[in-house]
Structure formats: structure tokens, C-alpha cells
Chain A
């Protein structure tokens, strides 16, 4: 365990998890917004939008995240020239956020769509009878009810996203698993201890998230 007594190593460990939290926070917000938009597309009356939503979900849900993030670096940045910042670390961070949120949005979309299916058809029909447009219907009647029934699945997606954020390491974002690799490289005799500390930190971070979302889901659920 003395590997964590060295302040430099402790700093690397803390920085790694801080990066995970930053990646998760930014990606979660973007994925939620994008996921809602995609869900709206998938249930919209416009065929082109429905196809766009379905295409996005099928493409990102079925592609390994590592490939998505590598594509953000070698495709978006290297080949196409999408650059967020001159500073390579800031740039890589946002490239990773792009990949993570595009990928996670596909799962958020499907969760919300399943929530929409829990809203009784009569609700939408009544709203339409009152003269509400499709977007009013979605915003005021369907999504508020749908979101309350998918709090628990969204929690699972958030937990998965937090762990998935470690994949940002493949394009050089100094997240927790890169920090772990660096520590193991120079402290090969303490591999198990290093693994254990990193794994337990993830558990300690994510168990409360799981409980919080379960509690929230119970409070918000629409009882029918």
C-alpha cells in the first residue's frame, strides 16, 4: 500500500478520479439533452426524423465505445479537423465528451422512449382533442410523465457512463484507469493493492448514486 504514501502518486490518483467526474458530468448533461431530442424524433410523425433517431440509436448502441472515442480523435480531429482547443489536453477532453455523449444519448433515448410507452394512449388523445400540437403534447403531457417513470433506468445509464468514462484514456485523457496503469508500471509489486484501491473508489462513488436514483424513482413514480 505504500505506493499511495507518495504524494505524487496520490495526486495522480485524485486527478484521475476528478477527470472521471468531469467527463461524466459534461457527458451526462449533453447525453440527456440529446437523448430527449432523439426520443422526440423517434416518436414524431415526421418519417425523416424517425429514421434519423433510429439510425443514431442503431449506430451508436451497437458500436464499441472504444471505437467511437478513437473515431473522435482520428476521424473528427485528425482527418476532418474538428478542434476544440489549441491545448491538446483540453481538446482531447472535449473529443472524449463528444464520443461519450453521442454514445450515451442512444441509451438515454431508448430509456425515454420506453417511458413514453408507459403513458396511457388516452392522455395523448385527450391532449390532441384539446387542440395541443405535437410538440406541446410532448412537452406538456407526455415527457413529464415519461421522465418520471424512467428515473431508475437513467440512473443505471449514469452509472454505466461513469465507468465508461475510463475509455477516454485511449485518446490520452488522464483519467482513473490511465493513472492506474501508470502506477502499476512503476510499482509492479503492488498490482493487487492498486487495483483494489481503484475498484473500491469506483464502488464508493457509484453505490450512493444507485441508492439516490432508487429513492428518487420511488418518489417520482406516477402511480397508476
Chain B
């Protein structure tokens, strides 16, 4: 019995290995030198994008489909790489697993309100920025808070372990920081008056404020106190892919698809499309 079981396990292991070997063959189509493997993947309709699933206007999962500005950017990239945007696969990522997902190949490209910073640059390569957000405050329409200086003794909500939460702790220690695991809970607490303000990137707050159930209840303070350049994350060694995506972004400004992406998503909140400064695109170190 025991020997039979061992043999069965061995057989399964061999099969799994064999399958894995086949898998890796088809996963990395042969590429002409100097061209990013992303191009071949796009043409085969195999691009996997890591996106957020809980940020209205940016990356939101509605049923089995994803929608938002980040998703539109992903479509532009897929098209620019020579693929069919309708064949994109979207994988839900949260802030903490974006680098590991890129490094282990669970996704090819991350478009998920991903701020470019030096620590992250050690692990992944960034194209873009395709948008520059800033940390801001969302308050009830009648609130008298006009900026982060007005937070002394007030209750302000953000997500546990996030950069915005860290910044409040370090720079505005007199504010009372309420932390939850998701912004939706902060918005709920703001709606019931339990907290006085919610803080994170302005673009994320604008997305929440534009949701129909909160229409007219909240306002953005509009005084950003940080700069968050959103980049497009990909494998650290893929310099060619990074350069290519920057070219695609440049072209999207010229042909108007960047503005169309904005107008179809965050533009609905009434905010005019930002101008993408192509001179600030990263130089894609490999």
C-alpha cells in the first residue's frame, strides 16, 4: 500500500513538474533581442494587469468586470503594445502585494494608484507617471476644516499602514488618527459623523465623493499636501517595456485617448482632464 501511494505521489509530482515546464515555455514566447516580452504577450492576448478593485473611478470591480481610469490606461497600454484590449486579464491587487505580484510574474503590469518612490524602484521598474495625485482631505460639505493644519484634535480617518496614515502620524501628530482596513469604512464613518475627515490621495477621494449615495454630502478641501506620481509597474529588468509604455503614454496625449479615458471615468465628477506632462516621464533604468 505504502509503496503504491508513494508511487502515486511521485507520478503526480512528475506530472506537475512536466506541466509547469510546458507552462513556462508558452508563458515566455521567444522575443527578438531588444524587444520587451510584453509585446509578444500583448499580441497573444495574454497580458495580465494588476489593478485595484475597491476604488471608485480608478479601479473598481463591478460584477466580473473592472472599470475606472486605471483600467482605461491599461486598455491604452494593451492596444499600444499591439494587443487587443478586450483580451486583457485583470487581477485584483492591494497595496501590499503589488511588488511581489510583479516579481513573481502573477501579473505583467500594475496600474493601481501606484506611487513611484525610491524604495519601490529597487524592486520594480516604473513607466509614467500618467497622473500626479496629492494627499488631500475629504470633509462633510458644511465642515470648516480648510487644510491639514486644521486637524488639531480632530478625528481623521485613513487605511492601516498606508503612506497617507504614516504622513498624518509624522507631520500632524495632534490629529486623532482613526485607522481602518479599507477606505470604504472611513467614508462610512465620515457619513455618520464619527470622524471629521478622511485623508488619502485627492483622486481617490474624488472617486468616493462622486458615488451616487454620497452626492452633495462631502467636499474635497483641495489643498494637496504631498505629491504622488502614479506610475505603471513592471519587471525591474524590462527596460524595453518601460520605454515602450512611455511612448504609448506620449501617443495617447496626442491622439486624445488619454483625455477620453479621463472623461469616461473620473471626468464624470466634473473635474477637467489633467494635462499629462510628457517631459516628466521616467527614464526607465534597467
Contact = CB atoms under 8 A, between A and B. Distances in A.
Contacts of B163: 185-186
B119 interface: yes
A186 B176 contact: no
Interface residues of B, number: 25
Nearest to B189: A78
Contacts, number: 59
19 contacts: A74-B188, A74-B194, A77-B194, A78-B194, A87-B176, A88-B177, A170-B181, A172-B160, A172-B177, A172-B178, A172-B180, A178-B160, A181-B96, A181-B160, A182-B161, A183-B161, A185-B95, A185-B96, A189-B99
Nearest to B162: A185
Interface string A171-185: 110100010011111
B155 interface: yes
B192 A188 contact: no
Contacts of B95: 185
Given A172-B177, A181-B161, A186-B166, 6 more contacts: A74-B189, A78-B194, A182-B160, A182-B161, A188-B120, A189-B122
A184 B161 contact: yes
A191 interface: yes
Nearest to A180: B161
Main secondary structure of the interface of B (DSSP, over half): mixed
Contacts of B54: none
Contacts of B179: 172, 174, 178
B286 to A, nearest CB: 18
3 smallest beta-carbon distances between A and B, as pairs: A182-B161, A172-B179, A188-B99
Nearest to A79: B192
B100 interface: yes
A161 B265 CA distance: 45
B125 to A, nearest CB: 15
A186 B176 CA distance: 22
A169 interface: yes
Q: What's the interface size class on A, roughly?
A: 20 to 34
Interface of B: 95-96, 98-100, 119-120, 122-123, 155, 160-163, 166, 176-181, 188-189, 192, 194
A89 interface: yes
A182 B163 CA distance: 9
A88 B156 CA distance: 10
Given A74-B188, A88-B155, A172-B160, A182 B166 contact: yes
A178 B161 contact: yes
Contacts of B119: 186-187
